[in-house]
Amino acid sequence: MAIRNLRYEGDEILKKKSREVEVIDDKLQILIDDMIETMHKYNGVGLAAVQVGILKRVVVIDLYDDKGPIVLINPVITKTKGEQEVEEGCLSFPNEFAKVIRPAEVTAEYTDRKGKRMRVKAKELLAQAISHEVDHLNGEVFIDKIIPGTLEYVEPEEEK
């Protein structure tokens, strides 16, 4: 496993649409493991492959609960319900936070890393994370969806 280089604000790749994954092979499994390790290194809740420069429809999410990270390959949001105003950040926009309106609940279909088609009904943080990461796969970033006037830059704490 390896830490991948993140792509940051202003990188053109973040505006590109990711391609469907057609084969789940060893190369994809390595990418998934690297994405999980990279997300954990930077304390992220989610990471899309495009954020490490790979235009494939792959997302990893970890709510740091007892369930561990989940992997969504070719995720599609099939249903949304309600809305929630949430504070959001993004590993590609370090130290920037803003309020965004996201669905309160989402239903998504995806393929897991073993190739099995799955469905998840998500609420609150998981619904927010799935929405945020699927946006990445479509070339959209949270900064384009923020509630005007809510963007804040938080100075990083000094490394000790």
What pLDDT, in 10s, does the model give residues 149-159?
A: 999 999 887 65
pLDDT, residue 157, reads 75
pLDDT value of residue 160: 45
Question: How is the chain split into domains, by residue range?
Answer: 12-153
Domain 12-153 has CATH 3.90.45.10: yes
What is the pLDDT averaged over residues 30-47?
Answer: 97
Spatial separation of the C-alpha atoms in residues 63 and 25, rounded to whole Å: 26
**Average pLDDT estimate for 9-37:** 98
Residue positions annotated with a catalytic role:
133
Q: Average pLDDT of the chain?
A: 96
- Among the residues of the chain, which ranges form H helices? 26-41, 124-137
> Is 85 a residue whose pLDDT tops 70?
yes
- pTM score of the predicted model: 0.95
